Structure 1
């Protein structure tokens, strides 16, 4: 059980400052000269487990999260904006179901808790599901939805994949002929189109703002799942009446249900990052050695010529659970520059899952400035034989930062980590990250870091694909908000100036509104 704020790093400083006249302790972490400062948890919000969208189906919670930064405004001490969330492949009954993929629009109203306050409720973050856009492709004049159904085993030869064309890479396909999408990360590109990362391929799909499939990005061969010598996208979660793959797990490429879990765009909008949830199958010996995962970069400065530019090793943290050494797979990434990212590793414990008390649930920092770009290198195919990283490869710098399981911080809002199992116990899966400025005068480097969970459609009052269901438990969608400061090594280099003046440059608008009394 975590009893205090503990942040390990290359250099960590403990100090205090005044916020609103209250002295608040904080921890400062330096990563290659950039200062990351955690102040405190300042807000909690919920959406009910049995919430349904405009299509009458159970809301899919948060597998990926992105903010429309142009909507982020401040009035007094309150904020509002629009977030977009990608749910995963639907409620699993006996395997996967023909759940139509979608993007959910969430209106956020946020009033941070006063610095240092205690005895708080869980209502600082107001959340409202306002729209649910179904994802579809247009075929010979007709539209066909994308589906969460598991791809057919065997790849192209058995109908489990669409063959590559001059315009599209090979893509996974279900038995019903629909493109298969197990959605995870989501970003919004400069032209308003959306990219969604997928676990099956793993793939990166591109959609119009209206939800129409308009393309997919090329993916490195090193993560394509291989069975019996062919690309096979099945995740061994066949829908009822369909057969699973043999062998159950791929022999190379992404592991089952461990595809492109994290997706993020750099603040200047030029670099796309996508991360595998844990090590590729050829880079592990067992569950305790799946820590050498991969991070990829794409040049998206020209949206008509998106190019794969980098592939890097990232070593995920390990932890002890009883007598076992386990790996905390990552569930999301969030770029804060063109070389540094937040990453969210976690174990598989939470409300009514596993031991209920989580051993590791954090937001950490990775830096690829000095990491080896292994793309197209001779050892790219296998970077960690037997789970041991090739010594020729320098992995990303990895620095722990924010402990979500901090008991003292959780207790301020009536939350717990497994001590008293119930609705106030944090759920297992946390998969969404958003960073937005505080828009305060004189604090250009201060932000709110939102962290959101994925409830896996768990409710006792569910409805999907024409059928009611009872999961036996209710898990609310939950958002946490932390106040952080991120100070670059050099004052306002190009990427941070662009963050302030571009994607996150709404401060001037907010100040004008404040001065005008709006």
Structure 2
């Protein structure tokens, strides 16, 4: 496929700053999804086109697959969130072809025609009501070391309130909690998307008061931060999962990831370890079944059919796991084991120190179930204790396969189909 250089003219067709006020479709209230949706069948989400490059490569909005969560009171409705917007690798950072893109929450419903209907978009805003961007944070505010550039290759300013949103929780009071890959931050947003509180690791965003995450979480690997966020059924405890092994202290690619819990009543935190099937996989979503049991996505970045792919969902139990918080949440490297960080330690060394990871049991293999064709299984909506709705991140329908700053359409291997954020109904044993 012919590649298109980023500096080619981008024709903006639809402003990313516009809130969609009109429904794209009219839902039938209270439609049980299982009554109209078939299992293991693809149901694409509706999208707009943000812009088109010269050889018809579309940038789509799209992108509503970084996380999903059930509407807390309306059956047949769910929310999904975008990440920081379309981007590719460039020099020492990222190029943003739609640099004013505003991360947003989509509110969806299922109608009687078995269609996914977009009801509204909720644009994320800073505490003053100004739309934020997906541009990285500056030093001291959650910087990842990524330098932002616009489509012409010009460096652009950092955004103190920028979010690379990846985890989403909807509360019964209409507000949202969102986790991200920068700080990492956990941010509380109002029903209209205005920031109410930003919780960051100790040492990040100091001076803003309030609750904090343990300092070690600032060691997250760039672009693999807090990828999933859940809340216990009593809406008391937030539970975040890191995508991959943290760089603690150096660049490490292992099979150890961390789960952190934050009690919203007391502000206290706990930490648990998750053992991946192999090094460098991604934990892309977490959803609560109870106060101690959760569903977790564990995946690779492969497309099914092109090569062996893993898109697994596990049930985990944190009640049997060891809290690895240590004595001091302000410790830069967290709990140490014989002079080594947890990430530097082997499972044999951790076992000898009496550290037990969460229990995990495979409950769904999406490649085995339906040949799941997408690379990024990143969100799911818990419909009931035997059914979930899975969503993929389509990267706004563009890709940068060689990592050299060029852009092309994201096509599913072996097909002519553009990758699209889609819902699949999955039965769990």
Q: Which has the larger radius of gyration?
A: 1
Residue 262 (str. 1) matches residue 221 (str. 2): no
3-state SS, counterpart of residue 314 of structure 1: strand
- The residue that corresponds to 1:63 in the other structure is 66
- Per the normalisation by structure 2, the TM-score is 0.70
3-state SS, counterpart of residue 216 of structure 2: helix
- Contact preservation (8 Å) 1:147, 1:178: no
- The residue that corresponds to 1:145 in the other structure is 131
Q: Evaluate the alpha carbon distance shift between residue 333 and residue 138 of structure 1 in structure 2; reply closer, same or farther with a 3 A threshold.
A: closer
- The residue that corresponds to 1:433 in the other structure is 380
Q: Evaluate the alpha carbon distance shift between residue 106 and residue 52 of structure 1 in structure 2; reply closer, same or farther with a 3 A threshold.
A: farther
Indicate which of 86, 89, 98 corresponds to 1:91. 86
Structure 1: runs of 5 or more not aligned = 1-40, 73-80, 111-123, 162-173, 225-252, 319-325, 411-415, 418-425, 438-445, 461-468, 486-518
- The residue that corresponds to 2:344 in the other structure is 385
- The residue that corresponds to 2:421 in the other structure is 477
- Contact preservation (8 Å) 1:82, 1:106: yes
Q: Evaluate the alpha carbon distance shift between residue 183 and residue 271 of structure 1 in structure 2; reply closer, same or farther with a 3 A threshold.
A: same
- Contact preservation (8 Å) 2:45, 2:116: no
Q: Evaluate the alpha carbon distance shift between residue 128 and residue 279 of structure 1 in structure 2; reply closer, same or farther with a 3 A threshold.
A: same
**What are the within-5 Å matches in structure 2 for residues 118-517 of structure 1?**
125-139=114-128, 143-152=129-138, 154-155=139-140, 175-217=157-199, 218-224=212-218, 253-282=219-248, 286-287=252-253, 289=254, 291-300=255-264, 302=265, 307-318=267-278, 326-350=279-303, 356-377=306-327, 380=335, 382-388=341-347, 390-391=350-351, 392=353, 393-406=355-368, 409-410=369-370, 416=371, 426-437=373-384, 447-458=386-397, 471=409, 473=411, 474-484=418-428
3-state SS, counterpart of residue 327 of structure 1: coil
Indicate which of 37, 43, 53 corresponds to 1:46. 43
3-state SS, counterpart of residue 223 of structure 1: helix
Please report how far the alpha carbon of residue 358 of structure 1 lies from its aligned counterpart in structure 2 after TM superposition. Answer: 3.8
C-alpha RMSD of the superposition: 3.0
| Aligned mates of 1:357, 1:49 — CA distance in 2 | 29
Deviations 1:21-75 (A, max 9, x none): xxxxxxxxxxxxxxxxxxxx8242432685359xx97232210101113111xxx
Q: Evaluate the alpha carbon distance shift between residue 334 and residue 96 of structure 1 in structure 2; reply closer, same or farther with a 3 A threshold.
A: farther
3-state SS, counterpart of residue 163 of structure 2: coil
- Contact preservation (8 Å) 2:236, 2:263: yes
Please report how far the alpha carbon of residue 156 of structure 1 lies from its aligned counterpart in structure 2 after TM superposition. Answer: 5.8
Q: Evaluate the alpha carbon distance shift between residue 339 and residue 472 of structure 1 in structure 2; reply closer, same or farther with a 3 A threshold.
A: closer
- Contact preservation (8 Å) 1:89, 1:96: no
| Aligned mates of 2:377, 2:256 — CA distance in 1 | 21
- Contact preservation (8 Å) 1:196, 1:205: yes
- Contact preservation (8 Å) 2:142, 2:183: no
| Aligned mates of 1:159, 1:331 — CA distance in 2 | 19
| Aligned mates of 2:45, 2:143 — CA distance in 1 | 41
Structure 2: runs of 5 or more not aligned = 1-37, 51-58, 147-155, 200-211, 329-333, 400-406, 412-417
Q: How many residues align?
A: 331
- Contact preservation (8 Å) 1:199, 1:259: yes
Please report how far the alpha carbon of residue 456 of structure 1 lies from its aligned counterpart in structure 2 after TM superposition. Answer: 0.7
Q: Evaluate the alpha carbon distance shift between residue 367 and residue 48 of structure 1 in structure 2; reply closer, same or farther with a 3 A threshold.
A: closer
3-state SS, counterpart of residue 457 of structure 1: helix
Please report how far the alpha carbon of residue 482 of structure 1 lies from its aligned counterpart in structure 2 after TM superposition. Answer: 2.0
- Contact preservation (8 Å) 1:435, 1:450: yes
Deviations 1:81-125 (A, max 9, x none): 211111111111452433211111111237xxxxxxxxxxxxx85
| Aligned mates of 2:316, 2:227 — CA distance in 1 | 16
| Aligned mates of 1:274, 1:149 — CA distance in 2 | 22
Q: Evaluate the alpha carbon distance shift between residue 342 and residue 71 of structure 1 in structure 2; reply closer, same or farther with a 3 A threshold.
A: same
- Per the normalisation by structure 1, the TM-score is 0.58
- Contact preservation (8 Å) 1:317, 1:327: no
